[in-house]
Amino acid sequence: MKKFINAAKDYVPEYLEGIILAHGDRLALAEDNGRALVRRNPVPGKVAIVTGGGSGHLPLFLGYVGDGLADACAVGNVFASPSYISMVSAAKAVESGAGVLYLFGNYGGDRMNFDMAAEELNSEGVETCQVWCTDDVASAPKEKSENRRGVAGIVFVYKAAGAAAARMLPLAEVVRIAKKANAHTRSMGVSMSACTLPEIGKPSFTIDEGEMEVGMGIHGEPGVTRGKIMPADEVAEILVSNITKDMEYPSGSRVAVLINLLGGTCLEEGYIVYRKIHSLLLALGIEPVGVRVGEYSTSMEMAGVSLSMMLLDDELESLLFDAASTPFVVFEQNRG
Amino acid sequence: MYNSETVKRTLRSIAGIIAENSAFLSELDAAMGDGDLGIHMYRGFEKSCDLVENLDESPGKLLNRAGACFIEEAPSTLGTLMGLFIRAMGLELGDKANFSFEDFLNMAKRGYNEIIKRGKAAPGDKTILDSLHPAIEAMQEAFSQGAPPKQCIALGYEASKDGLAYSTGLKAIHGRPAYFAEKTIGMQDGGATVGMLLMEGLNEVAAIEGCDIE
C-alpha cells in the first residue's frame, strides 16, 4: 500500500479536518456530530437536501454540499454507510421548516440507515422523504432495475433536485424531480485496477495486468465480464451500447453526459474515451449537452472510467443549467 | 439472577473473541464484500466495552449505551444491525436491576427481531440470522425442558455452529455478497460467523467455573 496517510484509523477524521481547514468559509461540521458536514449558508425556507455515504469516493458525497446542490452530508467510514445518528444530525443542522429530502445511492447499509433516520425525523415532525439512485445498468438487469446500485449518475440527480430546491419548490416537487432525474439517468463503467482500503492495507481483489472488468461497481463489486484491455474506442462502444440498449433515446434526444474517472485514470484518457463516445452518440441521433469529464465519483485509486447519461426534457434541461457551486464542483448558468 | 456485572463480563468475553477473529472475519468479507468486517466488529465491541466498563448503570441501560456506541463506532450494515441487536436487548430489559435466564431469552428474541425488522432478511438468506436463529431456538428448547442455563448456552453454541455450516451452502441474497450470487455457495458468511462468535463468547462466560450464570 502506498498512500499519503498517517495512522490508517485517522484517515476519515484527518481528511475531514483538511477539508474544513481548506474550505471553512463554505463548509463546517455540525456542532453535535463530527460526521455531519453542512454548508455555512443554508437558505431559510428551502427544502433541505441531505446526502450521505461511505468515504473513499471524493468528491462524492460531501463534495456536492454547496449552493444549488445538497445542503448537508453524513460521512461514513471508507466504503461504509454513515450511522443514522449522523444522518439525523446532518438534516437537523440545515432543515428550516420546508422538509428534508434524503438523496443517496442504492446500497444496503445506506438504505437501512437513511430509513431509520427518516423515521426519526418524521416522528419528530420534520417531514422527510427519501430518493435513492439506481443508475448503474451493469448492476442488475432491466427487469430488476430497482436493485441497481447508484454510481456517478447521482450527480445529475443532485443537480436537478438541488436546482428545484433552490427555486424554492415544495418538498413534493423536489422529490418528483429527483425521482424523474434518476429514472432518466443511466451509467456504465469499466475498471482496470483494484483499490486498497487504508485500514486493510492490501487490495481486497485484483485485476491482472493486461485485463479490465466491464461493469465493476465502485467498491469492486463484480461486473459483467472480465477480459483483455481494449482500445479506448472499443471501451466507448461498450459503454454507449449498454446504456442505449437499456433505455429508449428517440432520434433528436438531448442528453447530459458525464465521463467519470474513478481515481487512478488521468483526464487525458477521459477525453480520449469521450472523443469516441461523442461520435457514437451523434451517429445515434443523440446530442450531448453540458458535457463534463473528470473525477465526480471515485473509488480511491481505482483505474477506470464510467459514462453517465441523463435524457433531458425541457424541465430537466432548465434545471441542469441553473448555476450551482461547491468547493469541488461548479455548474455555470446556462452552460452546465 | 444476573446483573450489570454479567453484562460487562459477557460483552468483554465476546469482544476478546471478536478481536482474535478480526483478521479472519475480514478475509471472509474480502471474498464477497469489501473486506472490512473484522475492522468494524472489532472497533464496535472494543469501544462499547470500554464505554460500559466504568458505568454504574442497570444492565438494560448498559446494553442500551453499548448498542448506541456500537452504531456510532461501526456503522457498516452488520455493525448497525449488531448495535441495534444489543440496544434492543437493553430495551427489553428496561430498568430491572437483575434478570433471569428467561429474561435473557426474551432479550435475545427481541434483538433477533430487530435485526429482521431493519435488515429485512430471513433465516436461510445466508446472514447472521442463520447462526442466531438456531442458537436461540436451541436455548429456548433446552430451557423449556428444564436444562440449566449453562447447558442451554452450550447447546445454543453448538446449534450456532451447525447453523453457520448450513449457511455456507446457501446463496447470499443481501448486501454486497448478493452481487456474487451463485459464487457465494460454499463460501462461509461473515455475518453468520459473527453470530456463532457471539455464542462462543457467551458460552465462554457460562463455562467459567464459579461464574454466576447457572
Kindly report the nearest CA distance between residue A204 and chain B, in angstroms: 5
| Alpha-carbon span A141 to A146, nearest angstrom | 9
Residue of chain B with shortest Cα separation from A106:
B175
DSSP A165-192: HHTT--HHHHHHHHHHHHHTEEEEEEE-
Q: Which of A108, A115, A219 sits opposite B34 (nearest CB)?
A: A219
Report how far apart, in Å, the C-alpha atoms of A316 and of each of A150, A159, A240, B156, B211 are.
Answer: 19, 9, 21, 57, 67
ipTM over 0.85: no
Give the whole-angstrom CA distance, residue A191 versus residue B10: 45
Task: Give the CATH fold of the A185-331 domain.
Answer: Hypothetical Protein Tm841; Chain: A;domain 3 (3.30.1180)
DSSP state of B172: P
* Whole-angstrom distance, CA of residue A309 vs CA of residue A290: 11
What is the per-residue pLDDT across A38-96, written as a single tens digit (0 to 9) for each?
999 999 999 999 999 999 999 999 999 999 999 999 999 999 899 999 999 999 999 99
Looking at residue B209, its pLDDT comes to: 62
Q: Which of A144, A200, A218 to mutate to test the interface with B (most CBs of B within 10 A)?
A: A200
Q: So which residues of A are the catalytic ones?
A: 57, 219
In terms of Cβ atoms closer than 10 Å to its own Cβ (0-12, 13-18, 19+), residue B15 is buried
Q: Is B179 on the interface with A (CB under 8 A)?
A: yes
Q: Which three cell numbers stand for residue A277?
A: 463516445
Q: What is the separation of C-alpha A49 from the centre of its chain, rounded to a whole number of angstroms?
A: 14
| Planar angle of CA A151, A156, A158, nearest 5 degrees | 90
A8-183 has which fold?
Answer: Rossmann fold (3.40.50)
Contacts of B77 in chain A (CB under 8 A): 81, 108-109, 112
Is A85 part of the contact surface with chain B (CB cutoff 8 Å)?
A: yes
Ranges of each domain in chain A: 8-183, 185-331
Over residues B127-149, the mean pLDDT reads: 97
- Can you tell me the mean pLDDT for A189-199? 92
The domain defined by B4-207 folds into 1.25.40
Alpha-carbon distance B75 to nearest alpha carbon in chain A (angstroms): 5
d(CA A74, CA A81): 9
- Per-residue pLDDT reduced to its tens digit, B58-113: 999 999 999 999 998 887 889 999 999 999 999 999 999 999 999 999 999 999 99
pLDDT digits (tens, 9 = 90+) for B177-212: 887 888 889 999 999 999 999 999 999 999 886 566
- List chain A residues with CB under 8 Å of B175: 108-109
Please report the residues numbered 182 through 201 in chain B whose beta carbons come closer than 8 angstroms to any beta carbon of chain A: 183
Minimum-distance CB partner of B179 among A76, A81, A217 = A217
Residue B119 touches partner A, C-beta closer than 8 Å: yes
Contacts with A80 from chain B: Cβ below 8 Å: 36, 40, 75-76, 79
For the residues A211-238, what does the mean pLDDT come to?
A: 93
On whether any CB of chain A is under 8 Å from the CB of B40, the answer is: yes
Q: How many CA atoms lie within 13 A of B174 on its CB side?
A: 25
pLDDT score of A240 more than 80: yes
